[in-house]
Amino acid sequence: MTEKEAFVAVVTCFHEDESVNYAATRAQVRRQVEAGNNIMCAGTNGDFTALTYDEKVRLTAEVVDEAAGRAKVFVNAGMPATYETAMLARDFARIGVDGIAVITPFFIDCTQDGLYRHFCSVADAVDRPVYLYDIPARTQNHVEPDTARRLAGHGNIKGIKDSGGAQETLEAYLQVSREAEDFGVWSGPDHLVLWALENGAAGCISGLGNVMPHVLAQIAGCFNRGDMAGAKAAQEIYGSFRRDLYGLGYPPALVKRALWLMDPSVGASRQPALLPDPAQDRAIEAVLGKYDLMAEA
């Protein structure tokens, strides 16, 4: 059986003047690799919408260099226009990433045929595996399972990251993966990591793993070793922490803020993201303390 893979959608770190802190980002990559996780950079938890084109290219080069083959590196190339997405994908391919995720276009209202053409054009442009990235709550565009089935026939589209949060949709994508050759599903919802692995997912790509890397690695590691009791125990901790932290507000902002409280070197997100709030920080600290995470970073 092919081993399941855990990826963390690693944060992008910033200085106080909001410039990218590449050294601190490298430190977060090292932390994840040492825990046993793979890396996805420039994703939702990596503030990709706040980064310039050149920053994304440099960030990806730094992450690939830091990982140095010890872990796989995926990167999100998705932008509203196919033209710029393909440009980014080509630059990322030259850097040597292991996979290129393509978030559905945002702002532009796409038909399913438009999405099909978009993903095929990007996949045609590069020699690295391309992965669909579905997060309709943020982009307002959704890859329907039938469209994923069509796209699975493209020789360079190797899977999908499902961040929709609905188990029904995840089940439909998993059915596509059973029918299609060489098309995997990576689960995004943190509460469904183990369920997804048990039901045929290739792995997961998690934002929460920024804060709790060892527990995420334990879910996948225990599953791969056949230790289901260990995997279930780790998932219970992970799911409980998710409920407590995400109950405070917008998940990506809370992940970054929680990590900042653990390690201020990660910096705040670029504006107009969540501003520091002393009352919220105290609530986050209480959650971190409950799980003994204040000394983790």
Long-range contacts of 264-267 (CB under 8 A, 24+ apart): 265/13, 265/21, 265/24, 265/27, 266/11, 266/13, 266/14, 266/21, 266/24, 266/28, 267/13, 267/14, 267/15, 267/16, 267/21, 267/24
User: Which residue is catalytic, options 4, 56, 131, 133?
Assistant: 133
CB neighbours of residue 159 within 10 Å: 27
Check: CB of residue 161 under 8 Å from CB of residue 134.
yes
H-helix segments, 187-277:
193-198, 213-225, 228-246, 251-262
Task: Using alpha carbons, list the distances in angstroms from residue 248 to 85, 230, 282.
Answer: 33, 28, 11
Known catalytic membership, residue 290: no
Strand ranges inside 27-167, DSSP E: 38-41, 73-76, 99-103, 130-134, 157-162
CB neighbours of residue 109 within 10 Å: 9
48 SS3 class: helix
User: Which residue is catalytic, options 161, 238, 246, 256?
Assistant: 161
- For 119, what's the count of Cα atoms within 13 Å in the CB-facing half-sphere? 34
Q: Which residues contact 207 (CB under 8 A, 6 or more apart)?
A: 8, 9, 43, 44, 45, 190, 251, 252, 255
Known catalytic membership, residue 53: no
Q: Which residues contact 245 (CB under 8 A, 6 or more apart)?
A: 208, 211, 251, 254, 255, 258, 284, 287
- Catalytic residue positions? 133, 161
